[in-house]
Structure 1
Amino acid sequence: MSERAYYRNLQEYLKALEQHGELVRVTRPINKDTELHPLVRLQYRGLPEAERKAFLFENVVDSRGRSYDIPVAVACVAGTRSIYALGLKCRPEEIPQHWADAYARPIQPVVVDKGPVQEVVLEGEYLNQQGLDLLPIPISTPGFDNAPYTSASQWITKHPETGVFNIAVYRGQLKAPRRLGCHVNTPHHGLRLHWLRYRELGIREMPVAVVIGSAPHLIYTAVAKVPVDVSEYDIAGGLAGEPVELVRCRTVDLLVPAEAEIVIEGVIPTDAIELEGPFGEYPGYMARRGPTFFLEVTCITHRRNPIYEAMLSQMPPSESSKIRQIAQQGVVRRVVEQELGLRDRLKGVYFPESAGSFGVCVVSFKKEKPDEPMQVLEALHRRRVVSKLAVVVDDDINPSDPDAVFWALAYRMQPHRDVRVAPGVATALDPSIVPPWAEKDALASEKLEAEASVLLVDATRKWPYPPLSLPTREFMEKAMVLWKELGLPELHLKEPWFGYPLGYWTEEEQGEAALAVQGRYYETGEKFKQSGRKTL
């Protein structure tokens, strides 16, 4: 077999993580119901991002005393930005361009006759006796979750008329050996749109395949907001630089990655829903129970020695907030650079993980026309990529520095003039939209839209400003030399670290400043006495 540039599968990728010192192997018995997620959670509450790792649990047990032959990998695709970059085989700073290239040059998948994901096929009576219990599905929020839930599960559906595939990551509640819940948290996600179309056509069952464990580019694409008429398989191919190899499912008319670890095949009824939840979700709160879709399992296939992949979500920061942050920033970059044509003037995009990488977005770019900031904000609103607060700042503001952003909000905008309240993006996972006891029927999600709103804030300068009140660069650079000579602690400078003009500063004022540093400030005082004194 010829050498491939990209990872063939999850296991090959995990080896790369280990080679780079990014993987922790745990060989002692770990209870998937009470210990596994809490252990990984600790690094997100107690370590800086640079020190966090991916985990591979090789000796998994449960609260009923069962042992599993299948290891569990957690935080392996987006535990940190560096881990995510390894998943793309690029440097962290190259991630945005890697995504841009994938959208510019998508590669369609190829269908192969067979693949490792179907080395073991389980169907018939086996599903009734063991079925999904084969899988070491962890409990993500012990003490609050009501069951194990799949968390890195890629749900694959196909539009009944166009045949376009959709792949998205949804949680799946383990309900029975052959029944899995499916929660879709907004009314505009692919699976729900496909389900509605099947229902409109009078088709009682929608075929579904759930992929667990794959080369990382597939789950990266599944989290991204790919246009509805584009297949995630094509974009994943663009990320890898080669086509995704697919095999046909055994019991449903779908195509799945041939090199995946595990695939759950089944159907979602279009004439019935049932209760699901509660489950700890990415806004940092427990998502309440409510009626939603469920999958009836028809077949399980897997590699001979599969690895189960889970994702750490719940309270941010988490693995899910990191993978969502990078995906969302890519969407905004495409909107600003391609749709609005501001490619050369975009400085940065930032989604704070503390806001779930969805609630708040800050865009920094060089404004040339007064109406450009609101054009950017309205474009983001149309694309539904931010749920609560979208802010545009000037290109001298670092969008990822909250101090700089708060400074811009305080002194570069006026709420009555520069803030617009627009209809928001509703998600039943946001407890601020409606009380937790309100109905959140999957069929009535649109009702939430009327209760959601988003702030669009233009925090750019509206006219020339005086210079920043910091010493100019010349003096700060000399001070840095002096600092080092004094043996003071190493500096980590944040922008802005020197003053610069912003359009409103006269030659006279600059001349006075030059006199001051020469010790000739009395000359300015005398000038003021002669020309500026007024008798009251």
Structure 2
Amino acid sequence: MPVEDITEFIEKLEKSGELKRVKTQVDSNLEVSEILSRVMYSNGPAILFENIKNYDMPILANAFGSIKRLEIGLEMRDFTEIGQRIVDMTRMEMPTGIFDKLRKLPEFSKMTDIAPKLQKSGPVTEVIEDTPSFDNIPILKTWPKDAGRFITFGLIATKHPETGVRNLGVYRMQIIDSTHAFMHWQKHKRGAHHYDIKKDSGNKIEAAIIIGSDPATVFSAVAPVPEGLDKYLFSGITRKTGIKTVKCRTVDLEVPANAEIVLEGYVDPSDIRMEGPFGDHTGYYTPQEPYPVFTLTGVMRKQKPIYLTTIVGKPILEDAYIGKVIERSFLPLIKMFHPEVVDFAMPASGWFQGMAIISIKKRYPGQAKKVMMGLWGMGQLALTKFFVIVDDDVNVHDFNDVIWAITTRSDAARDTVIINNTPTDTLDPASPFVNMGSKLGIDATQKTKEEGFQREIQELVKSDQPTKNLVDSKWSSYGI
């Protein structure tokens, strides 16, 4: 059975020795984040702060700050299972005759099992606040020069204005006052796309900020799923069973019934103000920029909610581990569109959007460049700055092996591709313009004569098999 909510997740983490409780009083203004940065940078446990100055609500953080904790939360060890389930769904054949329909019933029932299920009430509807306010939530100020307190792990629910497909995204929100906050949805994000459609028609867009849910739904909010795939359905794919939802009270949106807190409201395109600065996951303060304002209209919550949060800064912090699961889970989808791809890695130190390394089974000249172009056209990979393509004998997760391939199999003039005036991550501190910069591709595969390599390919240094067998048979006698 999947982990159903934050409380159950805490119990499982604690039982596995992955969580520590802090009973000493702490301040949500800088102190909590300083503790968390020390814990995260030293690969420490999840932390449940139980005594927050001026607040009755405990804080849970670093809950996803290790692969082991993600394995516990998502109840799997091989995260490629998630992407493989999507691939398998796309390959389902529609039945033609009555016997074929009967044969396919088990497969279609699985799809029904993973669909979200609307309920009249749930844990999150235990308390409906008469006077909605951000003031009762221990929202953190993370870094000294941040413009204020920021919600950093809110799952922002919106609905496509034309298709009704639901989205969850994680966008930071700077608190302005008791009922207003900035909505920092970057131009390339799906929530921003929904907002733009509404803005073009002169209307506000409804949104709900979900604080805490089951780990699979939290992961689904972060994951860059294929366009048109409902995020609640994706959560069901991840969990292997559909999530339960409830209707919001003041906006026309459904939210997970097991959420800790739901903040309902709307984003007004006519109310644009300067948001930031904020110490972000690039390791730099992002400067002030104009963003729309979210107005709070309602609050639903559990009787005793837990505030799930995180901090971001120079890698490697908690978001790096979530990024690693995204990397693994979407490998099967990349392989579906590019069958020559063997493996794929996005180094955490490159804040994931900065660099990707791809190994391929090369069959023809120019294939590495073909893969680069294809991946730069796939969803959020369009924002990745650097691609390095290597042969399938190179371990993409071993940076030493990758550097070896770059320095022994690529020529600077022949094997680098630079494309100017391309989309970049809004947070990229190096791009010359906001949202606009360049890409670099490095073809570090072994070149062939068809690719202009006129020399004989040098042979790799390897041990011969008889000598390896001899040493294997005598290894214990060496006393090494």
Tell me, yes or no, whether TM beats 0.5. Answer: yes
Alignment of 1:84-99 (within 5 A): 84-91=70-77, 94-99=78-83
Identify unmatched segments of 5+ residues in structure 1. 435-446, 489-536
Q: Does 1:172 align with 2:169?
A: no
Q: Does 1:281 align with 2:280?
A: yes
Q: Compared with structure 1, are the counterparts of its residues 54 and 252 closer, same or farther at alpha carbon in structure 2 (3 Å cutoff)? A: same
Q: Does 1:201 align with 2:188?
A: no
What is the percentage of aligned positions where both structures have the same residue? 29
Q: Compared with structure 1, are the counterparts of its residues 481 and 261 closer, same or farther at alpha carbon in structure 2 (3 Å cutoff)? A: farther
Q: Which range is displaced more, 6-15 or 370-379?
A: 370-379
Q: Hey, what's the Cα distance between the residues in 2 that align with 1:483 and 1:60? A: 58
Q: Hey, what's the Cα distance between the residues in 1 that align with 2:60 and 2:39? A: 15
Q: Compared with structure 1, are the counterparts of its residues 332 and 256 closer, same or farther at alpha carbon in structure 2 (3 Å cutoff)? A: same
Alignment of 1:480-495 (within 5 A): 485=477, 487-488=479-480
Q: Does 1:228 align with 2:221?
A: no
Shift of 1:191: 1.2
The aligned counterpart of 1:138 is 140
Compute the RMSD of aligned alpha carbons: 2.0
Q: Hey, what's the Cα distance between the residues in 2 that align with 1:21 and 1:475? A: 45
Q: Hey, what's the Cα distance between the residues in 2 that align with 1:333 and 1:108? A: 22
The aligned counterpart of 1:430 is 428
The secondary structure found in structure 1 opposite 2:164 is: coil
Alignment of 1:119-268 (within 5 A): 119-123=126-130, 126-127=131-132, 131-141=133-143, 143-185=144-186, 187-203=187-203, 205-268=204-267
The secondary structure found in structure 2 opposite 1:363 is: strand
Q: Compared with structure 1, are the counterparts of its residues 39 and 276 closer, same or farther at alpha carbon in structure 2 (3 Å cutoff)? A: same
- Answer with 1 or 2: which has the greater Rg: 1
The aligned counterpart of 1:366 is 361
Shift of 1:310: 0.5
Shift of 1:485: 4.9
Q: Hey, what's the Cα distance between the residues in 2 that align with 1:37 and 1:473? A: 55
Shift of 1:206: 0.8
Q: Which range is displaced more, 223-232 or 390-399?
A: 223-232
* Correspondence for 2:125 among 107, 112, 118: 118
For 1:375, give the aligned amino acid: K
Shift of 1:148: 1.5
Higher relative contact order (CA 8 A, sep 6+): 2
Q: Compared with structure 1, are the counterparts of its residues 89 and 315 closer, same or farther at alpha carbon in structure 2 (3 Å cutoff)? A: same
Q: Does 1:70 align with 2:68?
A: no
Q: Hey, what's the Cα distance between the residues in 2 that align with 1:465 and 1:32? A: 60
Q: Does 1:356 align with 2:351?
A: yes
Q: Compared with structure 1, are the counterparts of its residues 69 and 484 closer, same or farther at alpha carbon in structure 2 (3 Å cutoff)? A: farther
Q: Is the 8 A contact 1:351 1:360 kept in 2?
A: yes
For 2:415, give the aligned amino acid: D
Q: Hey, what's the Cα distance between the residues in 2 that align with 1:41 and 1:485? A: 48
The secondary structure found in structure 2 opposite 1:173 is: strand
The aligned counterpart of 2:405 is 408
Q: Compared with structure 1, are the counterparts of its residues 58 and 487 closer, same or farther at alpha carbon in structure 2 (3 Å cutoff)? A: farther
Q: Hey, what's the Cα distance between the residues in 1 that align with 2:466 and 2:13? A: 44
Shift of 1:471: 3.4
Alignment of 1:430-509 (within 5 A): 430-434=428-432, 448-449=434-435, 451-463=436-448, 465-472=457-464, 474-475=466-467, 485=477, 487-488=479-480
Q: Compared with structure 1, are the counterparts of its residues 102 and 16 closer, same or farther at alpha carbon in structure 2 (3 Å cutoff)? A: farther
TM-score by length of 2: 0.88
Alignment of 1:13-24 (within 5 A): 13-24=9-20
Q: Does 1:417 align with 2:414?
A: yes
Q: Compared with structure 1, are the counterparts of its residues 102 and 306 closer, same or farther at alpha carbon in structure 2 (3 Å cutoff)? A: farther
* Correspondence for 1:376 among 371, 391, 404: 371
Q: Is the 8 A contact 2:3 2:74 kept in 1?
A: no
Shift of 1:479: 5.2
Q: Compared with structure 1, are the counterparts of its residues 422 and 477 closer, same or farther at alpha carbon in structure 2 (3 Å cutoff)? A: farther
Q: Compared with structure 1, are the counterparts of its residues 229 and 235 closer, same or farther at alpha carbon in structure 2 (3 Å cutoff)? A: same
Q: Compared with structure 1, are the counterparts of its residues 170 and 89 closer, same or farther at alpha carbon in structure 2 (3 Å cutoff)? A: same
Shift of 1:167: 0.7
C-alpha distance after superposition, 1:367-412 (max 9, x if no partner): 1222322222111111241521101111111101111111111111
Q: Hey, what's the Cα distance between the residues in 2 that align with 1:225 and 1:365? A: 23
Q: Hey, what's the Cα distance between the residues in 2 that align with 1:7 and 1:102? A: 21
The secondary structure found in structure 1 opposite 2:270 is: coil
Identify unmatched segments of 5+ residues in structure 2. 90-110, 449-455
C-alpha distance after superposition, 1:149-172 (max 9, x if no partner): 111110011111211111100111
Q: Hey, what's the Cα distance between the residues in 1 that align with 2:171 and 2:202? A: 25
Q: Is the 8 A contact 2:183 2:267 kept in 1?
A: no
The aligned counterpart of 2:105 is none
The secondary structure found in structure 2 opposite 1:31 is: coil
For 1:192, give the aligned amino acid: A
For 2:423, give the aligned amino acid: V
